[in-house]
Amino acid sequence: MKITKLGHSCLLIEEDRVRIVIDPGVWSTQQNDLHDIDITLITHEHADHFDIGSLKTMIANNPEVQIITNTSVSDKLSTENIPSTVIEADQNINIKGILIEGIGTEHAFLHTSIPCIQNTGYFIANRLFCPGDSFTVPQKPVEILAFPVAGPWTRLQESIDYAVTIKPKICFPIHDGIIKTPGSYHLIPPLVLEKIGIKFQILEIDKEYEF
């Protein structure tokens, strides 16, 4: 599996010649220049994960792309006449030999006055789990975890504990576009994770990594 971080929570994932983009939001633009994309996954409707302008550009560049998301995002896409396939918690789909499973139902808690929105994490090819904005724990082993490390709904301590709970073989930080100097921020997780055998890998933007 090859993974390229495009920014914040937006990733390009390549597995068995299938190219997948997840969460094309407003804090990354590189997805707008990609071609030969087979699948786009969208975990939830917040703008840092779902930018309709960016998505339209991606569709123009990749007219055969299949968009997979949950009901709340699909409803928004319908108003733009953009077709999508709904895959939510406990549902799955196999596209070109790649299994994609929906896991989880709600965005992490923000505040008592703010209703929770729908959030669906996606497990890709039985290897990589991208939870979106949640701390959902899959009921199966996770080899590679993309875990959110910052945001108005989490603290770094909670994020590290999430990775400890899941115990992947390797994890890398996402949802860090909000951090002014993420390099220094990422010094803390390996102090905890690597002691218990979890490799912590920082993905440089636009650099391809093979797992």
- Going from N- to C-terminal start, the domains of the chain cover 2-210
The DSSP secondary structure of 21-39, one letter per residue, reads EE---TT--GGGG--S--E
> What does the alpha-carbon distance between residue 204 and residue 85 come to, in Å, rounded to a whole number?
31
What pLDDT shows up at residue 189?
Answer: 97
Looking at the chain, the number of H-run helices and the number of E-run strands are: 5, 14
**pTM to 2 decimal places:** 0.96
The DSSP secondary structure of 45-96, one letter per residue, reads SSTTT--HHHHHHHHHH-TT-EEEE-HHHHHHHHHTT---EE--BT-EEEET
Strands 144-148 vs 66-69: parallel, antiparallel or unpaired: unpaired
What pLDDT shows up at residue 190?
Answer: 97
What pLDDT shows up at residue 95?
Answer: 97
What phi and psi values does residue 171 have, to the nearest 5 degrees?
-140, 155
What pLDDT shows up at residue 143?
Answer: 98
84 CB-contact burial (10 Å; exposed 0-12 / middle 13-18 / buried 19+):
buried
Strands 208-210 vs 2-7: parallel, antiparallel or unpaired: antiparallel
> What does the alpha-carbon distance between residue 132 and residue 144 come to, in Å, rounded to a whole number?
14
**How high is the mean pLDDT in each 10-residue block of the chain (211 residues)?**
98 98 97 98 98 98 98 98 98 98 95 93 98 97 97 95 98 94 90 98 97 97
What pLDDT shows up at residue 96?
Answer: 96
Domain spanning 2-210: CATH superfamily: Ribonuclease Z/Hydroxyacylglutathione hydrolase-like (3.60.15.10)
Q: DSSP 3-state assignment of 8?
A: coil
> What does the alpha-carbon distance between residue 111 and residue 48 come to, in Å, rounded to a whole number?
19
Query: Would you state the structure tokens that stand for residue 26, as one six-digit string?
Result: 């407003």
What phi and psi values does residue 167 have, to the nearest 5 degrees?
55, 60
> What does the alpha-carbon distance between residue 3 and residue 11 come to, in Å, rounded to a whole number?
7
